[in-house]
Amino acid sequence: TISLARAEEDYNASDCRFINIEKGQLIYVYSKLMNEEDSGEFWAASITVYGEQCEDHMGTVGYFPSILVSEQHVYQEANKTIPTRVRNLHKP
């Protein structure tokens, strides 16, 4: 875990790589993926929930847009840049 964030808005995941979040949920952030072209950041996280109505989401891991949360506490400040390539999965 590198930080703890609180959801400021609801978010409905577009596919199975992403997580649904509800306003007010606490989220443990594990990694921050930053796009070089400034088209947005996505963070990988696990949801920490409180209350019986959300128990089925506890421990869910996936990505979400970083603009939807505010960091509450940073546990680790270290940065590590790992270059990646995006593969087009639609090409034969």
Residue 70 pLDDT: 93
Stated pTM of the model: 0.66
Residue 12 pLDDT: 92
Give dist(CA 36, CA 90) in Å, integer. 22
- Residue 69: CB atoms within 10 A of its CB come to 24
Give dist(CA 71, CA 3) in Å, integer. 7
Mean pLDDT by 10 residues, the chain (92 residues): 88 87 88 67 68 55 88 80 60 52
Q: 3-state class of 48 per DSSP?
A: strand
Residue 50 pLDDT: 46
Residue 63 pLDDT: 86
Class (C level, CATH) for 2-76: mainly beta
Closest listed residue to residue 7, CA positions, set 64, 72, 73, 70: 70
Residue 76 pLDDT: 79
